[in-house]
Amino acid sequence: MRTTSDTTARSGHTRVISAARVQGTSVTNPGQENLGTIRDVVLDKHDGTIRYAVLEFGRFLGTSTRLFALPWELLRYDDNADAYVINVDKKILKAAPGFDSSDWPDMDMAAFDRDLRRYYGLSATASRSDSALH
């Protein structure tokens, strides 16, 4: 049986975290530019995998805050920065398919997953088959 101290990283943080604590965590790029915060986490209720982090990314030219679904494997947690890091240029993120908080896309659709993964240059599927998205 593992104890809490067995899973504690050098920084004093554990390797596991509740979804509630992920929400509000900063997201940066490798250049440490602030890209926003995690607004939500989308889980697959059948296999328990994390599908997407929903990024809340600042205002553009006076418009309201936009949300962006990021495939979870884009994120890497940096203990020193206490932030998730994504290797995505700010310009790419600004042009990414986003949505309003009052009008979320159907993230269970195979086409949504395929198109989003293609946009970020990821393989067609992560650890699941498209049939799991129906």
Domain contains 74 = yes
Q: Is residue 129 part of a domain?
A: no
> Across the strands, what pairs with 53?
41, 70
87, part of any domain: yes
Q: What are phi and psi of 67, to 5 degrees?
A: -110, 145
Structure-token pair, residue 56: 């809340």
The pLDDT assigned to 129 comes to 42
The pLDDT profile of the chain, 134 residues, written as one tens digit per residue, is 444 444 454 445 667 778 888 888 999 999 988 999 999 999 999 998 999 999 998 655 555 678 999 999 999 999 888 999 999 988 898 899 999 988 999 999 999 999 999 999 998 765 444 444 43
Domains held by the chain: number: 1
Give the residue numbers spanning the domain of 20: 4-120
Contact yes or no for 57/68 (Cβ under 8 A): yes
Q: Does residue 45 lie in a domain region?
A: yes
The CATH number of residue 93's host domain is 2.30.30.240
- Residue 134 within any structural domain of the chain: no
Asked if the structure places residue 132 within a domain, the reply is no
Check residue 42 and give its pLDDT.
94
Please tell me the distance from the alpha carbon of residue 41 to that of residue 20, in angstroms, as a whole number.
9
The pLDDT of residue 126: 57
